[in-house]
Amino acid sequence: MSNPLLSIRDLHVGLPHRRRTDEIVRGVSIDVAPGEKLGIVGESGSGKTLTMLAVVRLLATPPLAVLKGEVMLDGEDLLKVDERRLRAVRGGEIAMVYQDPMSSLNPLLHIGSQIEEALRAHGASSDDAKRRTREVLQQVGLADPERVRTSYPHQLSGGMIQRVMIAMALSTSPRVLIADEPTTALDVTIQRQILELVTSLQAETGMAVLWVTHDLGVVASLVDQVVVMYAGRIVEKASTHRLFERPSHPYTAALLESLPGLGTAHRSALHQIGGTPPDPTRLSAGCPFRLRCSYAIEKCAHEEPELIDRGDGSAAACWRDPAQW
């Protein structure tokens, strides 16, 4: 792998209280190279969104806070840069598409002025911003970009808003795109279209993409590398191909089993993982997945496994060797 463009190192995010601190993200490290597509997969509450928000310092602080760690963009620690530099990075070098797009646009401003605002904040002239706005709205497959540009958010459908959000993020040609569940409200054809758009832009500009999702199906078709998160930690990191072929963590294996596939018999029940994800602020000793794990052993109750390299580009945090499952 070439030098990482964005490197999250040992990131800890939590809720500091007077006497104790609840950790929600517990030591996450992720590297992304230019042009790389990385998927971040996990159930709700696994800490994937918080990790991404921490990258551009958009955590709701207080109550949340980065407790420890570094976020290096091309060798510069974003957690330490001043406000001015941070503003240049946000939207300019790292753009985000947020969960819940319907509430992510200012309800009182035109779509056009909101996209133009992003462009102008990063040095575009008024005319250029207008032209570029039309261009990106067209690129994300909106049928009538001119109408969308002059519309208010409440006049558009959920799918249109989601495409607007993606257009806004892509408008400044960022070096890193962080997309948090960006296609959940879109139907499959539009999803496909967006994924293709991002892929083609990536080829053009060498943009790195972090695709946060709970949908392994999206991951399979889009990304090169996958990071699987559980209870605030990375439990498995592997190339997409490797992950689907031979998962090294029981949680990943269970996620894959619950995917509906072509081979799944009609009307047969989908596999589901028993139990619920643990409250990350109330973890006891040991592996947080052990209570839902079919392969747990005595050791899992006492000691939490570290993320260990398994060779051939895969790492997993599990005491058991998949060969012994």
Which parts of this chain interact with another protein (CB under 8 A)?
56, 58, 60, 83, 86-92, 95-96, 98, 100, 103-109, 117-118, 121-122, 152, 154, 165, 168
The distance of closest approach from Cβ of residue 80 to another protein in the complex, given in angstroms and rounded to an integer, is 17
Decide whether 154 or 241 has the Cβ nearer to another protein. 154
- Please state the closest distance from residue 180 (CB atom) to another protein, in A: 11
Q: Which is nearer to another protein, 92 or 277 (CB)?
A: 92
Distance CA 229, CA 178 (A): 16
Q: Read off the tokens for 242.
A: 């490797």
Six token digits for residue 203:
């080829």
Distance CA(306)–CA(302), nearest Å, equals 13
- Dist. CA 270–CA 262, nearest whole Å: 12
Minimum CB separation of residue 38 from another protein in Å reads 19
CB of 101 to another protein, least distance (A): 9
3-state secondary structure of 27: strand
Q: Which is nearer to another protein, 105 or 197 (CB)?
A: 105
Residue 261: burial class (beta carbons within 10 Å; 0-12, 13-18, 19+)? exposed
Q: Output the smallest distance, CB 298 to another protein, in A.
A: 45
CB of 183 to another protein, least distance (A): 18
Amino acid at 248: S
Q: What's the full length of the chain, in residues?
A: 325
Identify the sign of the CA torsion 237, 238, 240, 245.
Answer: negative
* Separation between Cα atoms, residue 209 and residue 202, nearest integer Å: 8
Using the minimum distance from each CB to another protein, give the nearer residue, 117 or 224.
117
H-helix segments, the chain: 48-55, 83-89, 111-121, 126-139, 145-149, 158-171, 188-205, 216-222, 240-245, 250-257
Please measure the distance between the N-terminal and C-terminal CA atoms of the chain and give it in whole angstroms.
31
Comparison of 169 and 315: residue with beta carbon closer to another protein: 169
Provide the minimum distance between the beta carbon of 308 and another protein in the complex, in angstroms, as a whole number: 35
User: Whose Cβ is closer to another protein: residue 44's or residue 103's?
Assistant: 103
Task: Name which of 99 and 138 has its Cβ closer to another protein.
Answer: 99
Provide the token pair at 236: 């498995």
